[in-house]
Amino acid sequence: MNVMWDRKEKKFVFVIFLLPFLWMIYSFLSGRYFPDPAEPFMTISGIWASLFLVLSISITPLVKIKRNLRVLNRYRRFVGLTAFWYSGCHLLAYLLLHAGFSFEWIIEDLTKRSYIYTGFFALLILFVLAITSMRVAVRKLGKYWKVIHRLVYLVPVLVLAHLWWQVKADYQIALWFTPLLLVPLFFRIKKLPKN
Contacts with ligand HEM by CB under 6 A lie at 39, 42-43, 46-47, 49-50, 53, 87, 90-91, 94, 98, 113, 116, 119-120, 122-123, 159, 162-163, 166, 173-174
Please state the closest distance from residue 92 (CB atom) to ligand HEM, in A: 10
Please give the Cα distance from 180 to 36 (Å, whole number).
30
For ligand HEM, give the closer residue by CB, 67 or 168.
168
- Name the DSSP class of 150: G
Measured from the CB atom, the residue of 64 and 158 that comes closer to ligand HEM is: 158
Report the residue number, 145 or 165, with the smaller CB distance to ligand HEM: 165
Residue closer to ligand HEM, measured from CB, 9 or 109: 109
Chain residue at closest Cβ approach to ligand HEM: 46
In this structure, which amino acid lies at residue 171? Y
Distance between CA atoms of residues 121 and 148, nearest Å: 14
Closest contact distance (angstroms) between CB of 139 and ligand HEM is: 28
> Shortest Cβ distance from residue 87 to ligand HEM (Å)?
4
Q: How far is the CB of 49 from ligand HEM (least distance, A)?
A: 4
Q: Does 156 sit behind a cis peptide bond, omega within 30 degrees of 0 on the bond before it? A: no
CB 42 within 8 A of CB 90: yes
Q: CA-based angle 181:24:156, to the nearest 5?
A: 15
How many C-beta neighbours within 10 Å does residue 56 have? Answer: 25
